[in-house]
Structure 1
Amino acid sequence: MMDFKDQILQLAARAEKMLPQIQTEEATKNALIMPFIQIMGYDVFNPFEVNPEFIADIGIKKGEKVDYAIMKDGEPAILIECKHHLENLDPHNSQLFRYFHTTSAKFGLLSNGMVYRFYTDLVDKNKMDSTPFFEFKLSEIKDTEILELKKFHKSYFDVENITNTASELKYLNELKALLTREINAPSENFVAFFTKQVYPGAITAKVKEQFTPIIKKSFNQLISETISDRLKSALNQEKEKDEQEAVKIEENPESSLANIVTTDEELEGFLIVKSILRQFVDHRRIVYRDAQSYFAILLDDNNRKTICRLYLNNKKYLVVLDENKKEVKYEIQSIDEIFNYSEPLIDSIKRLEKKA
C-alpha cells in the first residue's frame, strides 16, 4: 500500500489531468475534494466521520450549510467549504468565515480542490482569522507541507498539538512570503537596512538606488550557491556510496551475486518497461541489473540513471524515483499492471534525458 506522501502526490498528478473535465463545483467535490478527505483517513461515506451539508445556524438565519464537517466525538472538528477549481478563494465572501463561530470546530478549510487553506482563530477567540495559518497548492506541494498536512490525518489529528504550532506556522509562512517579495523587489527599508551594514557614508536616495540591484544580486547569488553546494554534497555522498559498494563486490564478488536469481517474471517486467519507453529512447540503452532485494532498470547501464525498480519477491511494487531521488511506490497485482503506470515511467526517462 502507498504511504501518505505517495497518495497525495498521486492525487496531484491525477488532478492535473482531470481539470479540463471538471465543469462544476459538485464535480470539484467528487473528483478532487472527496478523494483528498479519503486520503486524510476519513470515511466520506460515514456521516459519523464526514458529515456532508452540515447545518450551522447563524442567529435568525437558520439552515446555513457547510459542505463537509469532519467529526470527532460527535462534534465538528474541521469545517470544509468547497469552491469550483477556477474560483477565487476569498474567506470574507465565504460562508466558512460567517459560521465558524457558531460551531465547536477549531479549524476551517477553504478549498477549490487545487488550493487548500487552513484557518483557525489565532487573532480573536472564536472568530476565524482572515489569513490562513497553513496553505498549499496541490500541484506544487512540498515535502515540508506534506509533513504539516499529515498532522490533520485521522491517525495523528490532535487539536492541541496543531493549535500550538499554528501560530509559528502562520508567521513562518508570512515571513517566507515577505522575504521572497523583498528578494525579488527590495523595498526602501530593506535596502537601507543592508546598506548600513556595509556602506560607511550617509544613506541618501542615490546610494539606495545604487545598492538596490547589488542587494538583489547578492541574495540571488547566495541562493544559487547554496543550492549548488547542496547538490555537490549530495552527489559526493552518492559517489562515495557507489564506490563503497563497488569495493565490497570487488572484494567478494561471488558472495554478492550467489543469491541473485533473475526470474522470468522480472525479465517480463523488463520487456514491458522497454516496450513502453522505446518510442522515447533507443531500446538498446535500456538495460537491467538484478540485485537481491530488487530488479533495477537503468538507462545507459548507469546506476545513477535509474528508470525504475521492480520489487517482486513478496508484495509486488513498481518504484519510480522522483526528481529528488525519492521512491514513489505503485503496488501491482501482476506484471501486466506496469502498463497502467506508463506516464510515471515516461516522466522518469524524460527527466534523465533532460539532466543528460
Structure 2
Amino acid sequence: MELNNQLKALADKIEQLKDQIETEESTKHAFVLPFINLLGYDSFNPTEVVPEFTADVGLKKGEKVDYAIFHDEEPVMIIECKNWKEDLNLHNSQLARYFHVTHTRFALLTNGIEYRFYMDLEETNIMDEKPFLEFDITNLKENVIHEISKFHKSNFDIDKIVNNASSLKYTKEIKKLINGELQEPSYNFVRLFAGQVYSGRLTERIMEEFTELVKRAFNQTISERVSDRLNSALNKEVEKQQEEEFEEEEEISKIVTTEEELEAFRVVVAILRRKVSKDRIFHRDTQSYFGVLLDDNNRKPICRLHLDGNKKYISLFDQHKNTQREQIQAIDDIYEYEEQLLQTIDYYEQE
C-alpha cells in the first residue's frame, strides 16, 4: 500500500511539473531519481546507484549509461533516461548496446513517464527487442504496481523476476493481439470462427459478412461479461446494505420509548408552543438519551432528556450548541427551564 501511495504521489507531481521541465537533466532529477528512490535505493549512495556508469562499446570509448543500480555489490540494472517529451522507440538500439557490454540482467529505458523494462529472454546477453514490462506511471493498474514492487530493494530476487518475466512479456503481446483483433479482425481470425459455424464455401462476400459478425459477437460477449460482473457486484452491495439495515433495525428495536419520556416531551412541547407550532417539534429516542429537535433536524437540538437512570437530567443547549446538564427530580421540573428552552428556539430562528 505504501508503494502504491508513493507512485500516485509521484504521478501527481509529474502532472504538475512536466510542462516546466525542458531538459533531459531536469527529467532525471524531477522524475527518474524519485522513482529510483521509491524502489528503496539511495540515489546519493554510490554503492547502490552509480550515475554515468561506464558502458564502452568496442573501440568506442567514453560511452556511459545514465544510471546503474547495484544489488549485493553487483550491477543488476542499467537505466537510460530521455527527456519526458521524447519518443522512446528511437532509443532502443542505444540501450541494447549498453546492455550487451555491461552484462546486467535488466535494462530500463524511460523518459520519466513511460517505463520499459528489458531482459535477454530470447538470447543470452542480447537485449530483447520488446520489453517484458511496460507502463505509464500516470496511469498505473494494480497488477502493474505488483510487478513494480518486485524491483524494490527489499523484495529484489533475480530468479523470481526472471521466471516471471517470460510470462509477463508474452501475456502482454497476446493482449495486444487480442485488442487488435477486436478492433479489426484479421482474415485468419474470422476464418477460424466462420469455418466452424458456416457449412458453405467461404467466399470473399461471405468472409466480409463474417468479419462484421465476428467483431460484433466478440464485443457483445465482452459487454455481457462486464454487465454480469457489474450486476454481481451490485447484488452483493444490495445484500450488504440489507444486512446493515437489518442490523440497524435490530439496534433500533432495542430502544423502548417510555410513557415517562413521552410525558416529558409533552411538557417541552407545551413550553415551546409559545414560540413555534407543535408541528415543528419532534422527538428521537436513542439508547443513551431522549432528544427533542426543531424541524426534525439533528443540527437543531432543543434539549436532551436522561430519564432511564436512578437520577434524571435535562441537557440544554446554548447558541454555540454547548450542552449544560441539569438534574431534575420530576417531569414538572422541566418548566423551570422554560426561559432556556425558548431562548434555544430564538437562536435557530435568528439563523
TM-score by length of 1: 0.68
Percentage of pairs with the same residue: 52
Question: Could you say what secondary structure the match of 1:183 adopts?
Answer: helix
Match of 2:236 in 1: 237
Deviation at 1:219, TM superposition (A): 1.1
Counterparts of 1:284-303 in structure 2, within 5 Å, are: none
Question: Could you say what secondary structure the match of 2:99 adopts?
Answer: helix
Match of 1:103 in 2: 102
Match of 2:14 in 1: 15
Name stretches of at least 5 consecutive residues in structure 1 with no aligned partner. 257-356
Match of 2:39 in 1: 40
- Say yes or no: does 1:57 pair with 2:51: no
Q: Residue type matched to 1:158 in 2?
A: D
Describe the superposition over 1:183-242 as per-residue Cα deviations: whole angstroms up to 9, x where unpaired. Answer: 100111111111112111111111110111111111111111111111121122122122
Greater alpha carbon shift after TM alignment, 52-61 vs 17-26: 52-61
Name stretches of at least 5 consecutive residues in structure 2 with no aligned partner. 256-351
Determine if contact 1:92/1:130 at 8 Å carries over to the other structure: no
Distance across 1 between alignment mates of 2:17 and 2:69:
25
Question: Could you say what secondary structure the match of 1:78 adopts?
Answer: strand
Determine if contact 1:91/1:97 at 8 Å carries over to the other structure: no
Match of 1:112 in 2: 111
Distance across 1 between alignment mates of 2:254 and 2:166:
55
Match of 1:121 in 2: 120
Q: Residue type matched to 2:184 in 1?
A: A
Determine if contact 1:192/1:208 at 8 Å carries over to the other structure: yes
Distance across 1 between alignment mates of 2:224 and 2:7:
31
Match of 1:291 in 2: none
- Say yes or no: does 1:179 pair with 2:178: yes
Deviation at 1:90, TM superposition (A): 2.5
Greater alpha carbon shift after TM alignment, 31-40 vs 93-102: 93-102
Distance across 1 between alignment mates of 2:214 and 2:20:
46
Counterparts of 1:120-159 in structure 2, within 5 Å, are: 120-159=119-158
Match of 1:227 in 2: 226
Match of 1:86 in 2: 85
Distance across 2 between alignment mates of 1:253 and 1:230:
34
Determine if contact 1:58/1:64 at 8 Å carries over to the other structure: yes
Determine if contact 1:41/1:153 at 8 Å carries over to the other structure: yes
Deviation at 1:249, TM superposition (A): 2.4
Determine if contact 1:75/1:104 at 8 Å carries over to the other structure: no
Distance across 1 between alignment mates of 2:77 and 2:58:
21
Deviation at 1:255, TM superposition (A): 9.3
Deviation at 1:94, TM superposition (A): 4.2
Distance across 2 between alignment mates of 1:27 and 1:172:
34
Distance across 1 between alignment mates of 2:75 and 2:86:
26
Match of 1:167 in 2: 166
Match of 1:191 in 2: 190
Runs of 4+ in structure 1 over 3 Å off:
91-94, 253-256
Question: Could you say what secondary structure the match of 2:138 adopts?
Answer: helix
Q: Residue type matched to 2:118 in 1?
A: Y
Question: Could you say what secondary structure the match of 1:51 adopts?
Answer: strand
Deviation at 1:10, TM superposition (A): 2.2
TM-score by length of 2: 0.69
Distance across 2 between alignment mates of 1:215 and 1:111:
38
- Structure 1 residues 109 and 202: CA distance shift in structure 2, 3 A: same
Describe the superposition over 1:61-114 as per-residue Cα deviations: whole angstroms up to 9, x where unpaired. Answer: 222111111101211101000011111112665432112122231000000111
Q: Residue type matched to 1:11 in 2?
A: L
Deviation at 1:134, TM superposition (A): 1.0
Distance across 2 between alignment mates of 1:180 and 1:232:
25
Distance across 1 between alignment mates of 2:71 and 2:254:
55
- Structure 1 residues 93 and 229: CA distance shift in structure 2, 3 A: closer
Report the number of matched residues: 255
Q: Residue type matched to 1:243 in 2?
A: Q
Question: Could you say what secondary structure the match of 1:5 adopts?
Answer: helix
RMSD between superposed Cα atoms in Å: 1.8
Distance across 2 between alignment mates of 1:92 and 1:130:
11
Distance across 2 between alignment mates of 1:68 and 1:53:
6
Distance across 1 between alignment mates of 2:42 and 2:2:
17
Describe the superposition over 1:251-281 as per-residue Cα deviations: whole angstroms up to 9, x where unpaired. Answer: 135999xxxxxxxxxxxxxxxxxxxxxxxxx
| Structure showing greater Rg | 2
Q: Residue type matched to 1:172 in 2?
A: T
Q: Residue type matched to 1:170 in 2?
A: K
Q: Residue type matched to 2:25 in 1?
A: E
